[in-house]
Amino acid sequence: MLNIGDVARQGGVSVETLRYYEQQGLIETPDRDANGYRKYAPEVVRHIQFIKRAQDVGFTLRDIGDLLSLKADPGASCSDVRDRALGKLSEIEEKIDVLSRMRDVLGTWTNACPSTGPVSACPILDALEARKGPANADR
Amino acid sequence: MLNIGDVARQGGVSVETLRYYEQQGLIETPDRDANGYRKYAPEVVRHIQFIKRAQDVGFTLRDIGDLLSLKADPGASCSDVRDRALGKLSEIEEKIDVLSRMRDVLGTWTNACPSTGPVSACPILDALEARKGPANADR
DNA sequence: GTAAACCCTGTAGTATACTTTAGGGTCAAG
DNA sequence: CTTGACCCTAAAGTATACTACAGGGTTTAC
Ligand SMILES: [Zn+2]
Ligand SMILES: [Zn+2]
Ligand SMILES: [Zn+2]
Ligand SMILES: [Zn+2]
């Protein structure tokens, strides 16, 4: 059995994060020792790594809670999980699209800026001031 | 002279947002009428659109405050503005990189999931459970 | 026997860009 | 002359995922 500090070290998170996850219902409430200390089974470390890996691919803690429910539900099907993953994939692609448009516009603008001379003649500020650049083509 | 509601409608923001921008120093403090109402010159609408366009390409309100300072500073040079734009461009590219990696991993996982059968055999959950996928190759 | 390192609870703070609420004046139309 | 639309301030709430703080008990090693 592990103390919270052991779990934190092995899981690569802080003890505060562990208490937070517990409070959010992402890890099961651990038993307590006579002194009130949380006592964890070693497998909780894997559980925390599940959460961290899910975060790494873009799932929020709320999403992860849903995934854990599915995982624990014998009636749930593979497609339920896949649907969450596909939904997240769409969200991510949407974000990439938005950012790519920003990148394109900013790239155009920075290319147009001579980098010399006063700000009063800066094409970047010009583009921001008037509706000239393609920045807001769709808004 | 315009009331705050007029400016809000013409600028495509809420009156609360206008008061917030004022409080944040992003738009100059307007004169007040005898009744205490804010009275705006029509050009403030353009000013708001500057802010919105800058947000559209990824600048935060803090960034925008900096840009406005540069714009107002006769001693500032074009390269100052360009530097901000290039910095933002890097930030955006970094975000795109992170998201692209998430997309690739999630894509691989969803392709591996047969979408039929119980969750206990879902390769997506498998990938999250164990250190198997390329999700955390660099962490 | 005491100091460091650890554990506990509960609450508040962080960042961003607003939105909402509470409580209350002002103005224009009918 | 009242109703609805509009304006005002100040403070608190929203979302996310923690982090920090205050105040205090426990364990371990010297
Ligand atoms: Zn320039
Ligand atoms: Zn599956
Ligand atoms: Zn009221
Ligand atoms: Zn203390």
A92/B100 Cα distance (integer angstroms): 8
What's the average model confidence in pLDDT over A78-101? 97
Question: Is the model's pLDDT at A139 over the cut of 90?
Answer: no
Residues 6+ apart with CB under 8 A from A85: B106, B109, B110, B113, B124
What's the token pair of residue B57? 């390409």
Comparing C-alpha atoms, which of A25, A26, A37 is closest to residue A1?
A: A37
| A20 CB-to-strand C distance under 7 Å | no
User: Residue B107 in contact with residue A57, Cβ under 8 Å?
Assistant: no
Question: Is the model's pLDDT at A110 over the cut of 90?
Answer: yes
Nucleotides of D under 7 A from a protein CB: 6-9, 16-21, 26-27
Q: What is the structure's pLDDT at A105? A: 97
Mean pLDDT across chain A:
92
B124/B137 Cα distance (integer angstroms): 16
Q: What is the structure's pLDDT at B130? A: 77
> Tell me, which fold does domain A4-72 have in CATH?
Multidrug-efflux Transporter Regulator; Chain: A; Domain 2 (1.10.1660)
Question: Is the model's pLDDT at A133 over the cut of 80?
Answer: no
Tell me which chain A residues have a C-beta less than 8 angstroms from the C-beta of B124.
81-82, 85
User: Residue A106 in contact with residue B57, Cβ under 8 Å?
Assistant: yes
Beta-carbon separation of A124 and B85 below 8 A? yes
Give CA angle at A121 (A115, A126), nearest 5°: 100
Q: Which of A16-20, A63-67, A99-103, B132-136 is least confident?
A: B132-136
Beta-carbon separation of B106 and A88 below 8 A? yes
What's the average model confidence in pLDDT over A109-127? 94
Band of pLDDT at residue A134, cut at 50, 70 and 90 = very low
User: Residue A27 in contact with residue A14, Cβ under 8 Å?
Assistant: no
Closest Cα in chain A, distance from residue B31 (Å): 23
- With distances taken from each CA to the C1' atom of nucleotide C17, the closest residue turns out to be B61
Beta-carbon separation of B74 and A118 below 8 A? yes
Q: What is the structure's pLDDT at A38? A: 97
* Location of structure tokens 């562990």: A18
Comparing C-alpha atoms, which of A67, A119, A34 is closest to residue B79?
A: A119
User: Residue A125 in contact with residue B67, Cβ under 8 Å?
Assistant: yes
H or E element that contains B89:
helix B78-112
B23-73 residue pLDDT tens: 999 999 999 999 999 999 999 999 999 999 999 999 999 999 999 999 999
The pair phi, psi for residue B38, each rounded to 5°, is -70, 135
Report chain A's terminal Cα–Cα distance, integer Å.
Answer: 57
Question: Is the model's pLDDT at A109 over the cut of 80?
Answer: yes
Q: What is the structure's pLDDT at B136? A: 43
- Report the percent of chain A where pLDDT is more than 70: 94
Tell me the C-alpha to C-alpha distance, in Å, between residue B4 and each of A50, B13, B24, B37.
50, 10, 16, 8
What's the average model confidence in pLDDT over A37-62? 97
B72-131 residue pLDDT tens: 999 999 999 999 999 999 999 999 999 999 999 999 999 999 999 999 999 999 999 876
What's the average model confidence in pLDDT over A128-132? 75
Q: What is the structure's pLDDT at A130? A: 77
Question: Is the model's pLDDT at A131 over the cut of 90?
Answer: no
Question: Is the model's pLDDT at B134 over the cut of 50?
Answer: no
Question: Is the model's pLDDT at B135 over the cut of 70?
Answer: no
Nucleotide with the nearest C1' to B18 CA: C18
Question: Is the model's pLDDT at A136 over the cut of 90?
Answer: no
Q: Against a cut of 0.75, is the pTM above it?
A: yes
Residues 6+ apart with CB under 8 A from B96: A96, A99, A100, A103
DSSP classification of residue B33: -
A60/B102 Cα distance (integer angstroms): 13
Nucleotide with the nearest C1' to B34 CA: C26
